[in-house]
Amino acid sequence: MSITDRVKQARDRIAAACARVSRSVADVHIVAVSKTQPASAVSEAVVAGVEAIGENRVQEAAGKRPLVEGATPWHLVGTLQRNKVKEALDLFDLIETVDRAELADRLQLQLRPTTRVLPVFLEVNIGAEAQKGGVVPEGLVALAEHVVSHCPELQIAGLMTVPPYDPDPERSRPYFAALRELADRLARHLGLPTLELSMGMSEDFEVAIEEGATWVRLGRILFGERRPPI
Ligand SMILES: *Cc1c(COP(=O)(O)O)cnc(C)c1O
């Protein structure tokens, strides 16, 4: 099946999930996560109309983005090291993985001499798993307050999470519901507009949509199995 057909199929499943909870399909966007896939596959996804391309490594995006035409924005969905901040800003339109004040400060420092405002998602380690990226739920308000008061060139546009791995998507549901709850409370607390929710991947995006996802990050169901690392 072509990538175009796979995107269509994903849209149908998104529409069905939206219908189950009376949400509008216009509120759910696809980030096509193209790690290990060649630039030609990314280009096909762009032509098929996905709303964003997602990569989790700066180095890999650097090799691909120049080969992909079109105005589709690119999202960084993997951990960002401080020494890659400058390069990441050249390659990505939105960073979904801001999870510590020190990283926000680094981004701010690089952005300050420009007039650019960078939309970011704060990544939440919703299961508070050891060794996993993301701020633990208890630390979210402090991180958000830091960004609001010290990083004027960063705009908190949403929250992102990867719940603890479980082959049964129903077991991810409480984590998705918890992220939504956190987002609602944070937006009220800081007086922010409604926050985007980046949650759900190939195995569990329908459940994530039922719980309020506005961005689903889809890799394998659009591109097929991952290739050996580039
Ligand atoms: C790889 C990846 C995805 C996509 O995963 P699939 O299971 O292939 O859909 C989504 N989010 C992040 C952060 C990823 O690294």
Hey, how many other C-beta atoms are within 10 angstroms of the C-beta on 188? 9
Q: How far is the CA of 218 from the centre of ligand 1 (A)?
A: 6
Query: How open is the CA angle 127-138-82, to the nearest 5 degrees?
Result: 80
Cα atoms found within 13 Å of the Cα of residue 134, Cβ hemisphere only:
23
Among protein residues, the one with the nearest Cα to ligand 1's atom 4 is 219
Give Cβ neighbours of residue 135 (< 8 Å, ≥ 6 apart): 99, 100, 122, 123, 124, 125, 143
Q: How confident is the model at residue 121 (pLDDT cuts 50, 70, 90)?
A: very high
Question: What is the number of the ligand 1 atom nearest to the C-alpha of 201?
Answer: 9
Nearest-angstrom CA–CA distance, 7 and 44: 10
From 56, 75, 129, 217, mutation site for ligand 1 pocket: most ligand atoms within 8 A of C-beta: 217
Q: How far is the CA of 191 from the centre of ligand 1 (A)?
A: 31
User: What predicted TM-score, i.e. pTM, was given to this entire model?
Assistant: 0.97
User: Which tens digit of pLDDT belongs to each residue from 48-94?
Assistant: 999 999 999 999 999 999 999 999 999 999 999 999 999 999 999 99
Q: Is 16 helix (H, G, I), strand (E, B) or coil?
A: helix
Q: How confident is the model at residue 230 (pLDDT cuts 50, 70, 90)?
A: low
User: Which tens digit of pLDDT belongs to each residue from 170-225?
Assistant: 999 999 999 999 999 999 999 999 999 999 999 999 999 999 999 999 999 999 98
> The tokens of 110 are what?
């690089």
User: Which tens digit of pLDDT belongs to each residue from 21-52?
Assistant: 999 999 999 999 999 999 999 999 999 999 99
Q: How far is the CA of 49 from the centre of ligand 1 (A)?
A: 19
Question: What does residue 98 show for φ and ψ, rounded to 5 degrees?
Answer: -75, 115
Question: What is the number of the ligand 1 atom nearest to the C-alpha of 35?
Answer: 1
Bridge partners of 29?
215
Q: How far is the CA of 9 from the centre of ligand 1 (A)?
A: 18
Among protein residues, the one with the nearest Cα to ligand 1's atom 10 is 217
**What sign does the dihedral 174-29-190-148 (CA atoms) show?**
positive
Q: How far is the CA of 86 from the centre of ligand 1 (A)?
A: 24
Pocket of ligand 1 (CB under 6 A): 33, 35, 56, 77-78, 162, 201-203, 217-220
Find tokens 């999470």 and name the residue.
Answer: 161
Angle between helices 140-150 and 173-190 (to 10 degrees): 40
Nearest-angstrom CA–CA distance, 227 and 65: 18
Among protein residues, the one with the nearest Cα to ligand 1's atom 7 is 202
* Residue 56 contacts residue 226 (beta carbons within 8 Å): no
Q: How far is the CA of 217 from the centre of ligand 1 (A)?
A: 6
